[in-house]
């Protein structure tokens, strides 16, 4: 009688996750994606355990995260994704938008209007706060147009400050403010829906003073589908004025907006309008979606650093299903 084959243990069916000392440059694309997905899942479960005050489960999950290589390995495989062989860094898109807009002005020096530094000037660099910075030699850092300040939870370089954006002191002078805040593959790393909303609420506190009409006075909509385009509402202005500031450069995995039960692009735009933004640029690739949201001010949340207790218990944008389906993901933002 032939022996029955034993089913493999579940642990044996998972891809091998190398120790943190392993060289990530030798890892395949499927394995790096597996490491990133596993890390995100464990971080989400850890946040849920902390919320429930489940000390035992939290300790177990922290041990699993450490055994996988922790944040250090996660960052190194993320850096691998920014290599030229794997498609380059997301800042190339932002730099391309800026360079294209600057070229449309024929390199003419632009004056500052309405007291706001909202257009590119030939002699003035664009100040950018890069949250979750992994490298100091990415596309924007190599551009003479940018002056980049970098922060990350777990710095991998002496020129990247170890800092939690949510704990960063608010600016007290104009010199501490920025033309652009970059959240490239940062918001999706945040463990809970509520904390993602809190992060979005906080961004505008670090901007230079915006000028031009406020979002409340703008009833236009930018609902283009697919590909890469500028918002048609502001195309004429962009041609005349160049790239306008301040704004948020936001990059998300494309699945966050095309395959989530709780978020699509229309809902994301409604949230951003509520916060005082309008979408100027958008590009969607097979894996990522890139946005530049210009902050106009006048949003309903302006002047509010974080949600009140009543807003947290009854948020305007709740976690509610808008796209049913068994194969959807659970990414969401609560505001």
pLDDT tens column, 169-207: 999 999 999 999 999 999 998 989 999 999 999 999 999
Q: What is the pLDDT of residue 236?
A: 44
* pLDDT, mean of residues 217-226: 47
Rounded-to-integer distance, Cα 98 and Cα 105, Å: 11
Residue 144 has pLDDT above 70, yes or no: yes
43-66 pLDDT, tens digit per residue, is: 767 777 777 788 778 788 778 777
Rounded-to-integer distance, Cα 90 and Cα 299, Å: 27
Of residues 298 and 13, the one with the higher pLDDT is 298
Q: What is the pLDDT of residue 329?
A: 92
Choose the weakest-confidence range: 13-27, 45-59, 142-156, 260-274.
13-27
User: In the 8-state DSSP scheme, what is residue 207?
Assistant: B
Q: What is the pLDDT of residue 73?
A: 67
Of residues 55 and 129, the one with the higher pLDDT is 129
Of residues 155 and 241, the one with the higher pLDDT is 155
* pLDDT, mean of residues 215-236: 48
Q: What is the pLDDT of residue 245?
A: 87
Residue 100 has pLDDT above 70, yes or no: yes
The chain-wide mean pLDDT, for the chain, equals: 76
Q: What is the pLDDT of residue 200?
A: 97
Query: 132 near 183, Cβ under 8 Å?
Result: yes
Residue 242 has pLDDT above 80, yes or no: no
Residue 40 has pLDDT above 50, yes or no: yes
Query: 294 near 277, Cβ under 8 Å?
Result: yes
Of residues 85 and 333, the one with the higher pLDDT is 333
Choose the weakest-confidence range: 86-95, 153-162, 300-309.
300-309
Residue 89 has pLDDT above 60, yes or no: yes
* pLDDT, mean of residues 302-318: 65
Q: What percent of the chain has pLDDT over 90?
A: 43
Q: What is the pLDDT of residue 229?
A: 55
Rounded-to-integer distance, Cα 180 and Cα 183, Å: 10
What is the band of 310 on the pLDDT scale with cuts at 50, 70, 90? low
Choose the weakest-confidence range: 110-114, 272-276, 290-294.
110-114
Q: What residues does 131 pair with on adjacent strands?
A: 151, 183
Which whole-number Å values give the CA distances from 209 to 33, 113, 126, 298, 334, in the listed order? Answer: 39, 11, 14, 12, 26
What is the band of 105 on the pLDDT scale with cuts at 50, 70, 90? low
* pLDDT, mean of residues 269-296: 94
For residue 272, give the nearest of 241, 293, 256, 249 by alpha carbon.
293
Of residues 25 and 30, the one with the higher pLDDT is 30
Tokens of 290: 């890139």
Of residues 143 and 42, the one with the higher pLDDT is 143
């Amino acid at each position: 009688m032939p022996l029955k084959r034993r089913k493999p243990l579940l642990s044996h069916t998972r891809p091998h996750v190398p120790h943190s000392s392993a060289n990530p440059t030798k890892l395949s694309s499927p394995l790096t994606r597996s490491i990133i997905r596993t890390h995100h899942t464990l971080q989400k479960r850890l946040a849920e355990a902390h919320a429930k005050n489940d000390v035992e489960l939290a300790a177990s999950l922290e041990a699993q995260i450490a055994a996988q290589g922790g944040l250090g390995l996660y960052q190194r495989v993320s850096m691998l994704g920014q290599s030229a062989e794997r498609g380059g860094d997301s800042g190339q898109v932002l730099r391309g938008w800026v360079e294209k807009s600057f070229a449309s002005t024929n390199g003419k020096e632009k004056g500052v209007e309405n007291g706001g530094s909202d257009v590119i000037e030939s002699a003035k660099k664009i100040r950018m706060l890069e949250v979750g910075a992994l490298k100091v030699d990415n596309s924007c850092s190599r551009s003479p147009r940018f002056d980049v300040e970098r922060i990350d939870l777990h710095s991998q370089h002496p020129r990247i400050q170890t800092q939690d954006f949510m704990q960063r002191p608010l600016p007290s002078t104009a010199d501490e403010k920025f033309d652009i805040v970059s959240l490239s593959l940062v918001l999706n790393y945040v463990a809970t829906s509520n904390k993602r909303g809190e992060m979005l609420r906080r961004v505008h506190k670090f901007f230079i003073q915006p000028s031009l009409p406020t979002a409340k006075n703008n009833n236009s909509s930018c609902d283009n589908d697919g590909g890469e385009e500028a918002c048609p509402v502001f195309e004429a202005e962009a041609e005349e004025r160049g790239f306008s500031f301040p704004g948020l450069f936001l990059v998300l995995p494309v699945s966050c907006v095309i395959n989530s039960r709780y978020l699509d692009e229309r809902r994301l735009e409604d949230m951003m309008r509520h916060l005082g933004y309008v979408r100027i640029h958008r590009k969607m690739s097979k894996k990522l979606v890139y946005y530049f949201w210009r902050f106009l001010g006048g949003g309903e949340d302006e002047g509010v650093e974080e949600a009140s207790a009543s807003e947290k218990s009854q948020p305007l944008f709740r976690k509610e299903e808008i796209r049913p389906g068994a194969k959807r993901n659970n990414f969401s933002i609560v505001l």
